[in-house]
C-alpha cells in the first residue's frame, strides 16, 4: 500500500540524549514535512523539504535537525536542546508545489517522551 510510515510509534528519550524519528514515504512525493502537535496549539511546522538535499526551517526548528538524502526518507533528530517533555510528531508529504493545489498527506505519528 502507498503511504507514509513513521517509526517508532512510541519512543522515550533520556535528558541529554539525541533521538531520531524515521519517516518513509512511497508516494513518490517530492516535498516532505515534520510537524509537532501540541494540545490547544494545533500543528506547528518544524522543518520541511521540497526536494532532495534541500530543507528549510519551519516555525519551531530550535532543538531539531533533519536530513534529506533520499526522496523517500526525511528523518528528524530531536536533540538534547529540545526541552518539550512529551510531544506528538507528524511527518507529511505532498506533490511538488507546481502541482495545482498540492494536498499534504500525513503519517500516523510518533509519541516522544523525555524520561
Determine, following the binding rule CB under 8 A, whether residue 109 of this chain makes contact with another protein: yes
Choose which of 27, 45, 52, 61 interacts with another protein (CB under 8 A): 45
- φ, ψ dihedrals at 94, nearest 5°: -155, 165
Given 94, 110, 112, 114, the residue binding another protein (CB under 8 A): 94
Q: Is 83 in the site for another protein (CB under 8 A)?
A: no
Residue closer to another protein, measured from CB, 16 or 100: 100
Give the range of 19-27, 31-39, 61-69, 70-78 binding another protein by CB under 8 A: 31-39
- Calculate the dihedral angle through the C-alpha atoms of 18, 46, 90, 33, rounding to the nearest 10 degrees: -110
The CA-based dihedral angle spanning residues 110, 34, 107, 21, taken in that order and rounded to the nearest 10 degrees = -40
Cα distance between residue 18 and residue 24, in whole Å? 20
Neighbours of 35 (CB within 10 A): 22
Nearer to another protein, 17 or 57 (CB): 57
List residues near another protein by CB under 8 A: 31, 33, 35, 40-45, 48, 50, 58, 90, 94, 96-97, 100-109
Amino acid at each position: 500500500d502507498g503511504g507514509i510510515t513513521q517509526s517508532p510509534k512510541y519512543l522515550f528519550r533520556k535528558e541529554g540524549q539525541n533521538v531520531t524519528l524515521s519517516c518513509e514515504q512511497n508516494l513518490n512525493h517530492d516535498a516532505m514535512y515534520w510537524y509537532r502537535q501540541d494540545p490547544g496549539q494545533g500543528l506547528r511546522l518544524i522543518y520541511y523539504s521540497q526536494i532532495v538535499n534541500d530543507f528549510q526551517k519551519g516555525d519551531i526548528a530550535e532543538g531539531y535537525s533533519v536530513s534529506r538524502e533520499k526522496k523517500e526518507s526525511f528523518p528528524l533528530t530531536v536533540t538534547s536542546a529540545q526541552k518539550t517533555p512529551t510531544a506528538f510528531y507528524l511527518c507529511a508529504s505532498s506533490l511538488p508545489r507546481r502541482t495545482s493545489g498540492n494536498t499534504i498527506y500525513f503519517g500516523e505519528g510518533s509519541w516522544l517522551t523525555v524520561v
